A = this chain, B = another copy of it.
Amino acid sequence: MKNLLLTIIITCLASCSGQKQKYEYPFRNPRLTVEERTADLISRLTIEEKASMMLYNSKPIERLGIPAYNWWNEALHGVARAGRATVFPQAIGLAATFDEQLVQEVASVISDEGRAKHNEAVKAGNRGQYLGLTYWTPNINIFRDPRWGRGQETYGEDPWLTGRMGLAFVKGLQGNDPRYLKTAAAAKHFAVHSGPEATRHEFNAEVNDYDLYNTYLPAFKTLVDGGVAGVMCAYNRLDGEPCCASPELLTEILRNRWGFTGYIVTDCWALQDMITHHKVVGTAAGAAALAINNSVNINCGVVYRKIPEAFFTGLVTEKEVDDALAGGLKILFRLGWFDEVDETPWRNLGNKDIATVKSKALARTTAAGSMVLLKNNGVLPLKKDLRNIYVTGPNAAAMEPLWSNYNGFSSELVTVLEGITGKVSPHTAISYNPGCGLVNDTLFRGTWLINDSETIIAVMGLNSLLEGEAGDAWLSEYGGDRKDIGLPENQVKYIKKLAERGKPLIVVVMAGSAVSLSEIEPYADAILYAWYPGEQGGNAVADILFGDSNPAGGEKKVEFSIPVTQLRFWDPLQGKYAIGTGEYSFFAAKNSADESVEIRVVMK
C-alpha cells in the first residue's frame, strides 16, 4: 500500500512538473541545467535582442514567447513602490534590533509578498516595473556621516553589524530552496558610496586601503560569501575610476578575488554619469563597452541600447556581450522565470498573502524591538488609565515618518496618536495639537489643552522629505542631506515651551539618522528613539510607553568594561579618527543568534 501511494505521488510529480512535456526550445526545459538553458537562449538571440535583455526594462521577444521583464524592484523594508504591502521599520531601525533571526524573518515575509504580487501581476498580464523578482536591496553602505540622507536605508555605521544584518536580509529574500531563488537580492552600492547626495553623480571617493578593506568592503564580502544574487555598482568614482567601470572593484576584487558569480547591475543612469559627470568616456557605445568589459550584466538606464553599435564598431566582441548577458539570464532561470509552469514552492502565493494579520503583528514587534529608550527618569511606563493625555508634535499624527523612503503603502498605517488612542482606557481623554511644524511654524497656540493633561507626549523628529535620496527629499536643505545633526531649532523651542508647563514630558523622536538631543534632553523626562518605524509604528510606540513591550532596542545587555585609551573610533563631527580619552558611555549587546557581543560607544 505504501509503495502504491509512493508510485502515485511520483507519477503525479512527474506529470505536474511537466517532465514529459515537449518544449519548443531547450531553454524552456526546466529539466536542463541553468547553464544549458542560458547557452541555448543566447544562441537564439540577435545582437539587438541581447542588448534589450541587458536593459533593466527588457522588451518582450515574441517570436520566442518571452514576455517583458523589468529588473528594477525594491524591498528595503517591505515590497516597495508596488502599492499595498506590509511596511516594516526602515533599515536603520531593523539594524537597531540587533536581531539577525528577526531581520531574516522580516525579509522572508517581504519575499512572500513579493512572490505573491508577482504571481498576481503575471496573472493579470501586468509585467510592469516593481513587479519583478529582482530586488535592488539591501543597501549595505556604511553610514559614516550622520547627515547623509540615505543613511536611513543602511544598517548604520558598523561594518560588522552591516554585514550581519545585510546577510540576514538576503537570506530572507532569497530563501533556502535547493533549486530556486525565492527572489534575487542585490547588495548596493558598490562601493564607498556614503553621500553626500548632492554630488553623488560626480564625486571621487578617496580612501586609504585600511578604510576600504576594514570599513567599506567587509559587508559586501560577507554578502557575496553568503550567496547574494546581485551587486549594484555605485554612481561615484573610487580612486578616479567610475565604480560601474572599475577593473579594480568589479573584476579584480568582486569577480576574481571574491569569486562572485551573480549579476552586476548599474545604479540607475550611472553609465550616463560616466559620460556627463565623470567624463571618462565620450559616447554611450563607449560607456556600454567599458561596463561590459568590467562584467556589468544589467544596465539600469538606456546606455546598453548602444550595445549593437559597440559591437559593430568593434568596441566589444559578441563573446563579451554573451558573457555579460549570461550573468543576468542565469538569475532569471534560477528564479524560475522562464519556466512555462511555475514549479516553485511559492506558486500559490497571492493576494491573500499580502499584508496579513500575521505580517502586521511582525511589523509591530519588529518596530518595538527597534526602538531605543534613551532616557527615563521613572516616568515610564505610563498607566493606561491616565485621565488626560496631551499628544503633540509634528510627527504625532503624521504618516510620512512611518513609511520613510523606498516604501510600500499600508491600508492600516498607525500613527502614534492612533496607537495611544487604542492603548488607553475608555475614559482617558486625549487632546491633540501638532504644536509646530517640522522645521518652521513654531506655533504655541492651542496649548491651553495642556492645562488638564497629566502627561505630555511630544512626537518630534524628521521625515523622508527632510532627509533622503536626491530628488525625493525635496524639503532637504542640501540635496537630500542635512546640514547639521541638531533637532530643528523650532522643535527645540517648542520642547522648551512645553517643559514650562511642569507636566511629565515624554519625547518620541522619529528619524532615520542620528539627531543630537543634547538641547532638549534636560527638559524631557523620557526620550524614546523610534526611527522610522513602519506601518505599526504608533502601536509599537504605545506598546513601549505603556509598558507592554520592553524598549531594549533588541539588546540583551551584559556587563562590560574596557579601558578608554584603547578605543579608536570615527568621530563624525571632526571627520576623523579619534582616540577615546573623553567621557563616553558604553553599551554592550549580546546577539541572540550567535552569542557574539556588539559594543557601541556613545559620547556623553
Q: Which residues of A contact B (CB under 8 A)?
A: 81-84, 116-117, 120-121, 124, 126, 128-131, 350-351, 354, 385, 387-388, 397, 399-400, 409-415, 417-419, 421-432, 434, 443, 445-446, 448, 452, 465, 471-472, 474-475
Contact = CB atoms under 8 A, between A and B. Distances in A.
A448 B471 contact: yes
Nearest to A128: B387
A415 B429 contact: no
Given A411-B418, A412-B418, 13 more contacts: A83-B424, A83-B427, A83-B430, A84-B430, A116-B426, A350-B426, A397-B399, A399-B399, A410-B418, A410-B421, A411-B414, A411-B422, A446-B474
Nearest to A131: B427
Contacts of A388: 128
Copies, count: 2
A121 B427 contact: yes
A399 B387 contact: no
A342 to B, nearest CB: 16
A355 B445 CA distance: 30
B446 A472 contact: yes
Contacts of A428: 83-84
B426 A129 contact: no
Given A387-B126, A474-B443, A419 B411 contact: yes
Contacts of A445: 474
A437 to B, nearest CB: 9
A471 B397 CA distance: 20
A288 B120 CA distance: 71
11 contacts: A81-B429, A84-B421, A84-B426, A84-B430, A126-B387, A128-B427, A351-B425, A399-B415, A409-B432, A410-B418, A410-B421
B117 A426 contact: yes
A84 B422 contact: yes
Q: Please indicate which of the listed interface residues A354, A397, A419, A427 has the most CB atoms of chain B within 10 Å of its own CB.
A: A427
Contacts of A411: 414, 418-419, 421-423
Contacts of A474: 443, 445-446
A431 B81 contact: yes
B472 A427 contact: no
A412 B412 CA distance: 7
A497 to B, nearest CB: 15
A160 to B, nearest CB: 36
Given A411-B421, A413-B418, A429 B399 contact: no
Identify the 4 closest CB pairs spanning chains A and B, nearest first.
Answer: A411-B422, A121-B427, A445-B474, A409-B421
A81 B391 CA distance: 13
B421 A83 contact: yes
B409 A430 contact: yes
A350 B425 CA distance: 11
